């Protein structure tokens, strides 16, 4: 690729949603309306915004969005009881626990309470393990979005060196495994990595998932690298210095309108797929 390629996440998301419309219509004909239940705890403004965006995306496609808003003092036991009810509800196909959760809640215990059949955000340990082996029905949505962008733009993965900056269990680690399963050579970097800039300079594909605004510098990149910015920080900026990295990259995701819209589209795709599985039983 000789020209700069802006990886337009909004375009990728629309293509995914277009494919879902016929599937939703087919389910509707059987009396099944895909339903995503979102659980929000407390009053975190950013989390409220994310939940609202997901709800609006559901509504536009004809997916039911069931919002459960719990008090910030909710205990782990109370949250798990709510999740258990949703697990048993045949009208709910996907469960999304918006994180971060308040400090008194054992987030991992709450995630593990979600049924694997409704874990459309890929947060359970079993879902992670299935992703590692390459057969997860619902891998974590942001990693799935990154792979969808690479595939949409037909960016080669096999044999390429991918450097992931960040090792969270729902982003850095799963996307590393997905790239590895597609025959990339993968290096995972994190807060303890020495000579990070040198590591990034070896990459054909860079995934920034560190949660620090404009952290990845343009002069770290090798010429022609592909940059996927999975960060979103205050001021509508990602984890890479976009203008500087644009000078060196052959392809790059903007922030906003990059990975974010595709993440939501993957959540909807997984919810529809979960409803389709129910329709077969």
40-94 tens-digit pLDDT = 999 888 888 889 999 999 999 999 999 999 999 999 999 999 999 999 999 999 9
pLDDT (0 to 100) of residue 1: 42
pLDDT (0 to 100) of residue 6: 97
Tell me the per-residue pLDDT of 147-179, one tens digit each, with 9 for 90 and over.
Answer: 999 999 999 999 999 999 999 999 999 999 999
* DSSP-assigned letter for residue 102: P
When the pLDDT of each residue in the chain is averaged and rounded to a whole number, the result is 96
Q: Catalytic: 137?
A: no
Residues 6+ apart with CB under 8 A from 213: 231, 233, 234, 235, 237, 238, 239
> CB neighbours (10 Å) of residue 161?
17
Q: Which of 98, 119, 173, 241 is catalytic?
A: 98
Tell me the per-residue pLDDT of 98-130, one tens digit each, with 9 for 90 and over.
Answer: 989 999 999 999 999 999 999 999 999 999 999
CB of 226 closer than 8 Å to CB of 248:
no
Q: Which of 8, 17, 54, 118 is catalytic?
A: 54
Class of domain 140-260 as given by CATH: alpha beta
**Residue 88 belongs to what H/E stretch?**
helix 76-88
Q: Catalytic: 54?
A: yes
pLDDT above 90 covers what percent of the chain?
Answer: 92
Q: pTM of this prediction?
A: 0.95
Q: Which of 8, 17, 118, 121 is catalytic?
A: 121
Q: How many residues are listed for the chain in this entry?
A: 281
Name the fold adopted by 31-115.
Rossmann fold (3.40.50)
Is the torsion defined by CA of 129, 132, 135, 140 positive or negative? positive
Q: Catalytic: 98?
A: yes
Is the pLDDT score of 208 beyond 50?
yes
Domain limits, the chain = 31-115, 140-260
Confidence grade of residue 11 (pLDDT, cut at 50, 70, 90):
very high
């Amino acid at each position: 690729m000789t020209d700069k390629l802006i990886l337009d996440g909004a375009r990728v998301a629309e293509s995914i949603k277009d494919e879902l419309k016929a599937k939703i219509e087919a389910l509707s004909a059987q009396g099944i309306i895909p339903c995503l239940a979102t659980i929000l705890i407390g009053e975190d403004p950013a989390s409220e915004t994310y939940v609202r965006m997901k709800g609006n995306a559901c509504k536009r496609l004809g997916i039911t969005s069931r919002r459960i808003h719990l008090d910030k003092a909710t205990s782990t036991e109370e949250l798990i009881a709510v999740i258990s009810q949703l697990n048993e509800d045949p009208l709910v196909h996907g469960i999304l626990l918006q994180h971060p959760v308040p400090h008194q809640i054992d987030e991992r215990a709450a995630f593990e309470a979600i049924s694997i059949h409704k874990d459309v955000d890929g947060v359970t340990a079993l879902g992670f393990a299935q992703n590692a082996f390459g057969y997860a029905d619902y891998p974590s949505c942001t990693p799935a979005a990154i792979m969808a962008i690479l595939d949409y733009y037909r960016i080669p993965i096999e044999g390429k060196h991918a450097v992931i900056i960040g090792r969270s269990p729902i982003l850095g680690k799963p996307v590393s495994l997905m790239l590895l399963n597609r025959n990339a050579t993968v290096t995972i970097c994190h807060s303890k990595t020495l000579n990070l800039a040198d590591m990034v300079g070896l990459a054909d594909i860079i995934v920034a998932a560190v949660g620090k605004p404009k952290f990845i510098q343009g002069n770290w990149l090798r010429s022609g690298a592909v940059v996927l910015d999975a960060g979103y920080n205050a001021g509508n900026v990602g984890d890479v210095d976009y203008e500087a990295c644009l000078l060196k990259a052959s392809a790059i995701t903007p922030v906003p309108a990059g990975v974010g819209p595709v993440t939501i589209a993957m959540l909807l795709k997984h919810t529809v797929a979960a409803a389709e599985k129910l329709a077969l039983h």
